[in-house]
């Protein structure tokens, strides 16, 4: 039993050993990323971040719609359609939450006296 456990490969999340270069130190300054499947650094401009989030949301909604249409045609499984619809619903709810916060912030700023 214990011999089979020792054969399980272990890859630590912080540091460890790389088979090519030897010991690997943990990164102390992580680069912020957006979870798009491709690791890329976040833009430093707030407008660019919102623009990227909006384009990601649009892409998610478009792919969900395409999957739903494929499901109606019989080209996608029920599980794929359900996952796509849930992803679209989650994206829409996130967009609505951001919109509500922006409207709330605008109203708060408009109530300030100059």
Number of H helices, E strands in the chain: 3, 2
Share of the chain above pLDDT 90, in %: 50
The larger pLDDT score, comparing residue 63 to residue 11, is at: 63
- Smallest CA-to-CA distance from 67 within 54, 53, 86, 52 is with 86
For residue 90, CA distances in Å to 59, 71, 83, 94 come to: 13, 19, 10, 6
Q: Which helix (H) or strand (E) holds 96?
A: helix 78-111
Q: What is the pLDDT of residue 16?
A: 45
- Of 29-38, 50-59, 72-81, the one with minimum mean pLDDT is 29-38
Q: What is the pLDDT of residue 114?
A: 76
- Smallest CA-to-CA distance from 85 within 71, 99, 68 is with 68
The larger pLDDT score, comparing residue 41 to residue 71, is at: 71
Distance CA 97, CA 103 (A): 10
Could you tell me the pLDDT band of residue 49, with boundaries at 50, 70 and 90?
Answer: confident
Structure-block tokens of residue 4: 């089979």
Task: Determine the 3-state secondary structure of 24 from DSSP.
Answer: strand
Could you tell me the pLDDT band of residue 38, with boundaries at 50, 70 and 90?
Answer: low
């Amino acid at each position: 039993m214990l011999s089979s456990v020792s054969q399980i490969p272990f890859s630590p999340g912080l540091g460890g050993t790389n088979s090519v270069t030897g010991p690997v130190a943990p990164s102390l300054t992580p680069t912020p990323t957006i979870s798009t499947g491709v690791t890329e650094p976040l833009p430093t401009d707030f407008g660019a971040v919102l623009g990227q989030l909006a384009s990601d949301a649009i892409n998610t909604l478009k792919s969900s719609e395409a999957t739903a249409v494929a499901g109606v045609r019989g080209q996608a499984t029920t599980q794929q359609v359900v996952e796509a619809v849930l992803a679209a619903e989650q994206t829409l709810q996130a967009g609505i939450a951001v919109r509500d916060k922006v409207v709330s912030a605008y109203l708060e700023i408009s109530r300030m006296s100059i």
